Amino acid sequence: MPEFTNACPICQSKVRITRYHCDSCDTTIEGSFILPRDPLSKLSDDQRHFLLTFVRAEGRLNRMEEILGISYPTLKNRLNELIAALGYTAELTGLKPTPEERQAILDDLEAGRIDSNQALRFLQGEEAFYINTNGENTND
């Protein structure tokens, strides 16, 4: 049985449901019915695939990098596009590093204690970066 959408397959106009039928008990109800809103119906096939991959990866973008073979910034952009397509706005995390933390991030990157993807997440405020009172990274 084909999947139902709320758009006409010919002209893409909104359709109005006027008849329900139950094959099990052979009940038919006629009238005007409104379909419940499904926010996922707005998504493209690519966005649905991304969402399902996100769930399968338990929301871990580093796992999604491996599964989809795309970079962290690209994943983050696609996630923001998905959030917008669902009618939400991405909230700022408020984790922007201080100048001291920024320098510590760059020092850790140069010393090889963190990789470039993690440094980027810290610098963009997408992940918290902590330094202890000795000025050392405590993110290990």
Pair 79, 106 in one domain: no
Question: Could you tell me how far CA 92 lies from the centroid of its own chain?
Answer: 14
Domain boundary among 51, 66, 85: 85
Number of structural domains found in the chain: 2
Pair 44, 78 in one domain: yes
Task: Kindly state whether residue 100 falls inside one of the protein's structural domains.
Answer: yes
Task: Kindly state whether residue 55 falls inside one of the protein's structural domains.
Answer: yes
Contact (Cβ atoms closer than 8 angstroms) between residue 63 and residue 57 = yes
Task: Kindly state whether residue 57 falls inside one of the protein's structural domains.
Answer: yes
Structure tokens belonging to residue 2: 């084909």
Pair 56, 80 in one domain: yes
CA distances (Å), origin 72, targets 23, 69, 92, 113, 118: 48, 10, 17, 19, 9
More confident site: 130 or 106: 106
Task: Kindly state whether residue 137 falls inside one of the protein's structural domains.
Answer: yes
Which residues are within 8 A (CB) of 41 and not within 5 positions of it... i.e. 6 or more apart?
Answer: 5, 6
Pair 101, 140 in one domain: yes
For residue 7, give the DSSP letter: B
Give the pLDDT confidence of 13-72 residue by residue, as tens digits: 888 888 888 999 999 999 887 767 778 877 889 999 999 999 999 988 889 999 999 988
Pair 98, 81 in one domain: no
Task: Kindly state whether residue 19 falls inside one of the protein's structural domains.
Answer: no
- pLDDT band of residue 1 (cuts 50, 70, 90) is low
Domain residue limits at 123: 94-140
Task: Kindly state whether residue 49 falls inside one of the protein's structural domains.
Answer: yes
Contact (Cβ atoms closer than 8 angstroms) between residue 122 and residue 105 = yes
Task: Kindly state whether residue 34 falls inside one of the protein's structural domains.
Answer: no
Task: Kindly state whether residue 14 falls inside one of the protein's structural domains.
Answer: no
Average pLDDT over residues 103-108: 90
Residue 27, classed as helix, strand or coil, is strand
Residue 93, classed as helix, strand or coil, is coil
- Tokens 């397509």 belong to which residue? 85
Give the pLDDT confidence of 88-98 residue by residue, as tens digits: 876 555 567 88
Query: What is residue 2's predicted lDDT score, i.e. its pLDDT?
Result: 62
Query: What is residue 135's predicted lDDT score, i.e. its pLDDT?
Result: 47
Contact (Cβ atoms closer than 8 angstroms) between residue 72 and residue 120 = yes
pTM metric for this prediction:
0.48
Pair 49, 75 in one domain: yes
Contact (Cβ atoms closer than 8 angstroms) between residue 57 and residue 21 = no
Question: Could you tell me how far CA 84 lies from the centroid of its own chain?
Answer: 9
Q: Is the pLDDT of residue 133 over 50?
A: no
Pair 98, 79 in one domain: no
Pair 81, 98 in one domain: no
Measured CA to CA, the distance from residue 6 to residue 34 in angstroms comes to: 10
Query: What is residue 121's predicted lDDT score, i.e. its pLDDT?
Result: 82
